Amino acid sequence: MATLTRQLHPQLKGECHIMGCYEQCILLINKNATLPWFILVPDTDLIDFLDMPPAAMHAAVLESQSVAGFVKNVLGYPRINFGAIGNLVPQLHLHVIGRSKTDACWPAPVWGNLESGPEYDTETIALWQQQLIENTGLQTL
């Protein structure tokens, strides 16, 4: 199971809440509650997703797919944006973002277009964490 054996990049640590972990990745959620923007941080020192060994890459994709299913089926977002950009934060991380035609950035990408918004309250974080545990096998740290 992934753990916080590696330090999270300061930007990830400052902009996100830690939700828990899976076998391969730590799961974070961006504090900006405008959109459900989950971030999975694989347990690796590599900086590019496509450099990961196939088994680790496959595990990270399955965990991302599980979070995407939660965003679609539990939170009700019809679209998912998925990416491993890493231009500003060099630590390898994967974005799983719920999108809809009525969101604040549609149809533009969220990167560079999402304005500051309210932060999640502790009740929502706790509820989603519990739902992720029940629906995706998330483990608490």
101 burial (CB, 10 Å; 0-12 / 13-18 / 19+) is: exposed
Mean pLDDT value across residues 7-11: 92
Residue 16 has pLDDT above 60, yes or no: yes
Tokens of 87: 């231009």
User: What is the distance between the alpha carbons of residues 131 and 125, in angstroms, rounded to a whole number?
Assistant: 10
Residue 18 has pLDDT above 80, yes or no: yes
Mention every residue, 6+ apart, whose C-beta is less than 8 A from residue 20.
Answer: 26, 27, 129, 132, 133, 138, 139, 140, 141
Residue 5 has pLDDT above 60, yes or no: no
Tell me, what's the pLDDT at 96? 98
Residue 6 has pLDDT above 70, yes or no: no
Sheet with 16-21: list strands edge to edge. 16-21, 25-30, 37-42, 94-99, 79-83
Tell me, what's the pLDDT at 1? 63
Say what the pTM is. Answer: 0.94
Within 10 angstroms of residue 105's Cβ, the number of other Cβ atoms is 17
118 burial (CB, 10 Å; 0-12 / 13-18 / 19+) is: exposed
Residue 2 has pLDDT above 80, yes or no: no
Tens digit of pLDDT for each residue in 80-128?
Answer: 999 998 888 999 999 999 999 999 999 999 988 999 999 999 999 999 9
Report all structural domains of the chain as residue ranges with CATH numbers, in order of start.
10-136 (3.30.428.10)
Tens digit of pLDDT for each residue in 25-52?
Answer: 999 999 999 999 999 999 999 999 999 9
Tell me, what's the pLDDT at 15? 95
Name the DSSP letter for residue 119.
Answer: B
Residue of 100, 94, 93, 95 whose CA lies nearest to 75: 100
